Amino acid sequence: MREALNGRPAPERTRQQYQRVINAYRRIYFATPTSSKADPSVVAVAELQVEMGRRFDDDAILRSAIQQYQFLRREYPGSKYRVDALFTIGEIYKDDLNDRAKAQDTFEEFLSRYPHSHLADDARAALAEAVQQASVKSKKARDREKAKAPTQEDSEDTDQAAAAPDADAPAAETRTAKVARVTSIRHWSTPDYTRVAIDIEQDVKFDSQRIGNPTRIFFDLSDTRLASTLVGKTFDVDDGFLRKIRVAQFKPGKTRIVLEVDELSDYNAFLLSNPSRLIIDVHGKETAKASKEKRTGRELRTEAASAEEKSADGPSRASEDRKTEKAVDRVVVKNGVPTRIVEPDDSNSENETEASARAPESKPEVKETAIVAAPAKRKPRARKETAPEFDIREAQPTASGDRSLIRALGLKIGKIVIDAGHGGHDTGTIGPNGLLEKDLVLDVARRLGKQLERLGAQVVYTRSDDTFIPLETRTAIANQEQADLFISIHANSSSDPDARGVETYYLNFTSSRDALEVAARENAVSENSIHELQDLVKKIALKEKIEESHEFAADVQASLHSGLAAKSPGIRDRGVKKAPFIVLIGANMPSILAEISFVSNPGDERRLQTAEYRQRIAESLYRGIAKYVNGLSGVKVASKIEKSEGQ
């Protein structure tokens, strides 16, 4: 999935495509948090969020990437990715969010914790740059203050400064606008050659040399800089042609890619556009010689370009006259699928390789230098308009007249997680005419998410497609996302076909037979065992947000019933109830479970199959959530707050 995404031109990649791949990686570490694939999957999510944030110029997504790296360091303290994660956090603050203070703090923490890391020199350089930029910013601020009441001498200086370029601006900052970022490195192995694709934001100039002892080929990409997710990375290949790929920021404005190859290997390299990437093919000597005897250089280039287009499982439009095919038609890869290895090497061997690369043999073999015209300058992307700011206000007491700690502290809503119940093999209730609960609640969840955008809070879905997610994982998603509200959407069932109505639950103990029956049905797919009962009881008994969850449930229930009963008078208000739902246990935020109707009722099933009725449910849920939110002290509109922090 990630290869298919990388194979598309960057302007054609959508948020939904990024999110689909992110969700796939998340399912790995949520379902198997102790497996060897868990922490690499956490890293993959963070890397994709960084790419996504840059693609859409979205600071909120970039901050989510920082949270993801922090999650890795907190939950996997022994991970070999933890060092790179802290460094990348600093890079994001410095290069993407322009938050030099936090960048400086992060790099100082990095050097304090890992003074002998292979990234220590890079961290010192980044720290020095951040300090310099902060100093320049501070000086400009003082100059602006001074300019408010200038003397005659100051005025002359100001006039001269206005007529001349800003000498205080660091050269690196001036170059940034022209420098293309190297965003990712991919590779595939076939019986005849190994292909390496280096993705770049725009076409650039490169040159390459081959040196020996050990045999290496290095490529210098001019006017480029490494994405923070690639700094210090090493890719192990070991397929007979290519042993390792190393990447480093050789010097400001120049990226170096080092290939450790077999002694008998040869190579070809060329640039492709739309999307921009440098393609390197590593062959055995005999294979390369035989192919050159049979085909001209132009044919070789055309064939290689065509093969690279097919390397991703998806369409690529690098050339209008080439046929679009699937990668598996022509590319044979490890274990039958494209493999992208992102495991960094914690050793210091990269420094040794780079040192030897800086001192090549006396007569290095210069393979190729290519210049491709950069694409036309694009118009800057306009930021997407966010929801209007809500007034900051004092939180109101709950219906019981009390003020919980949440209200006393003036806490606000910033992120809401919507959980569509069931999914995958877990169909949930099946109506008399075949309506599946899992399909119904997913559609309602999506409709509700669109409505909630009006609040200004960020919306996260536990599932966005027909995927099974364990009940325990759904709450873990909400906690990991640092959500402020959690709502799980379900549809009811009864042995009585005439049963109708809506009801909303919050987490607590109960002796109600009906509530326990509903809980037993919804908890059927739980993966907990009996020995975990004591821990589950403690989590319910010690839950600090029961009162707020009850208030939340009451607002949603009242709105849900009134919204549906307006055009369906027979809808019964079944009230707010408490029950020990597994999906709500462990949530760190007010959380509820809404049963939106009875799928088992034939009349309601017919209504639930219509888009109009589903939309009415979503709007009713939205009004209930909005009412609860309005009782608090405001909405934390993430994009606006982050923008103000960066200024």
Q: Show Cβ contacts of residue 164 under 8 Å, excluding neighbours closer than 6 positions.
A: none
What tokens does 526 get? 């739980």
Q: Which amino acid is at 284?
A: G
Give one DSSP letter per residue of 529-568, joined into a string.
Answer: -GGGHHHHHHHHHT-TTHHHHHHHHHHHHHHHHHHHHTT-
Q: Given this model, what pLDDT does residue 375 score?
A: 36
**CA–CA dist 203, 188 (Å, integer):** 22
Q: 54-60 — which CB contacts under 8 Å span 24+ positions?
A: 54/96, 54/181, 54/183, 54/227, 55/10, 55/13, 55/18, 56/15, 56/381, 57/381, 57/383, 58/384, 58/639, 59/96, 59/97, 59/639, 59/642, 59/643, 59/646, 60/458, 60/638, 60/639, 60/642
Which pLDDT value is given to residue 131?
77
Instruction: For residue 41, give Cα distances in angstroms to 16, 72, 360, 372, 466.
Output: 19, 10, 38, 36, 21
Q: How far apart are CA 632 and CA 638, in angstroms?
A: 17
Q: How many Cβ atoms are within 10 Å of 202's Cβ, its own excluded? A: 20
Q: For residue 478, what are its two tokens? A: 């909400």
d(CA 441, CA 595): 10
Contact 420, 522 (CB under 8 A): no
Give the pLDDT score at 554. 93
User: Hey, how many other C-beta atoms are within 10 angstroms of the C-beta on 497?
Assistant: 14
Peptide bond into 364 cis (omega under 30): no
Distance CA 92, CA 68 (A): 12
Q: What is the model's pLDDT at position 349?
A: 39
User: Which stretches in the chain have pLDDT values below 50?
Assistant: 151-177, 287-390, 525, 533, 540, 542-543, 638-647
56 close to 43: Cβ distance less than 8 angstroms: no
Q: Which residues contact 311 (CB under 8 A, 6 or more apart)?
A: 3, 7, 186, 188, 195, 197, 327, 331, 338
Question: Peptide bond preceding 214: is omega within 30 degrees of 0, i.e. cis?
Answer: yes
CB 218 within 8 A of CB 280: no
46 contacts 52 by C-beta, under 8 angstroms: no
**Count of CB atoms situated within 10 Å of the CB of 572:** 13
Q: Which helix (H) or strand (E) holds 442?
A: helix 437-452
* β-bridge pairing 216-222 and 224-226: unpaired
Question: Domains in the chain, start-ordered, CATH in brackets?
Answer: 2-173 (1.25.40.10), 178-370 (2.60.40.3500), 410-640 (3.40.630.40)
Taking CA atoms, 117 is separated from 86, 235, 320, 388, in Å, by 12, 18, 47, 46
Report pLDDT for 140: 63
CA gap 302, 285 in Å, rounded: 20
Q: What is the pLDDT of residue 142?
A: 64
Residues 260, 242 contacting (CB under 8 angstroms): yes
Q: Nearest to residue 132, comparing CAs of 156, 158, 103? A: 103
Residue 323 CA, distance from chain mean position:
32
The Cα–Cα gap between 503 and 491 comes to: 10
Residue 417, beta-bridge partner list: 460, 486
Largest CA distance in the chain: 91
pTM over 0.85: no
> In the structure encoding, which two tokens stand for residue 426, read together?
């877990």
> 161-178 burial, b if ≥16 CB within 10 A, otherwise e?
eeeeeeeeeeeeeeeeee
Return d(Cα 139, Cα 47) in angstroms, integer: 35
